[in-house]
């Protein structure tokens, strides 16, 4: 049996340690904000934080998160008050919205380590998150706004 913290709550897991974190979050904990996109860590829809770092939950085995802290979109801010969430809302970023939880989690991880990223740094950090609707300009603008508090 392994234990971990998910969104500030202690959880336990007594299954196959090779099971992807994504399925534990969605199927066992009911945290469906983290999306399944590609299953091979290429799209970023499943991005969560593990000990503050952005990781792809679809390829992260449960054994790799033992005794660690996982934050999902549901745990980033329950009331939408995280600066990235506020910027996403203010700038009307999403079109279809499917990728947005992963986009927001990736942006939040960037801003946690780099409070004032350049546009090039934003593009580099966000490059692994695909938006099928092509909202990249609004995503970049929202990351900039979250960084400046605008």
- Residue pLDDT, tens place only, 49-78: 999 999 999 999 999 999 999 999 999 998
Mean pLDDT along residues 29-47: 97
Q: What values do phi and psi take at 49, rounded to 5?
A: -105, 135
Average pLDDT estimate for 95-112: 96
Q: Which are the contacts of 60, defined by CB distance < 8 A and separation ≥ 6?
A: 20, 21, 22, 50
Summarize the confidence of residues 24-28 as an average pLDDT.
98
Tell me how far apart the alpha carbons of residues 8 and 27 are, in angstroms, rounded to a whole number: 19
The pair of structure tokens assigned to 112 is 């946690």
Task: Set out the domains of the chain in order of their start, with CATH numbers.
Answer: 2-76 (3.10.20.30), 83-148 (1.10.150.120)
- 3-state SS, 4-59, equals EEECCEEEEECCCCCCEHHHHHHHHCCCCCCCCCCCCCCCCCCEEEECCEEEECCC
Does an H or E element contain 69, and which? strand 69-71
pLDDT band at residue 149 using 50, 70 and 90 as cut-offs: confident
Q: Give the residue from 73, 114, 121 showing the smallest Cα distance to 97.
A: 73
pLDDT over 70 (residue 150): no
**Tokens at 93, concatenated:** 């970023």
Q: Report, as an integer, the average pLDDT of 36-44.
A: 96
Count of C-beta atoms within a 10 Å radius of residue 78: 9
| Whether pLDDT at 29 is above 70 | yes
Predicted confidence at residue 115, as pLDDT, reads 96
- Across the chain, what does the average pLDDT equal? 97
pTM of the entire predicted model = 0.96
Cβ(10)–Cβ(3) under 8 Å? yes
Which is more confident, 115 or 150?
Answer: 115
């Amino acid at each position: 049996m392994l234990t971990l913290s998910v969104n500030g709550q202690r959880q336990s897991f007594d299954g196959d340690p090779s099971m992807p974190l994504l399925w534990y979050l969605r199927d066992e904990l009911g945290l469906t904000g983290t999306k399944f996109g590609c299953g091979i860590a290429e799209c970023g829809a499943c991005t969560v934080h593990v000990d503050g770092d952005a990781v792809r939950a679809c390829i992260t085995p449960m054994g790799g998160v033992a005794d660690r802290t996982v934050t999902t979109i549901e745990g980033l801010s329950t009331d939408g008050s995280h600066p990235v969430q506020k910027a996403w809302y203010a700038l009307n970023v999403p079109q279809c919205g499917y990728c947005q939880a992963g986009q927001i989690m990736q942006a939040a991880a960037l801003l946690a380590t780099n409070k004032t990223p350049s546009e090039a740094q934003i593009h580099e950090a966000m490059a692994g998150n695909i938006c099928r609707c092509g909202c990249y300009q609004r995503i970049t603008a929202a990351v900039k706004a979250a960084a400046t508090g605008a």
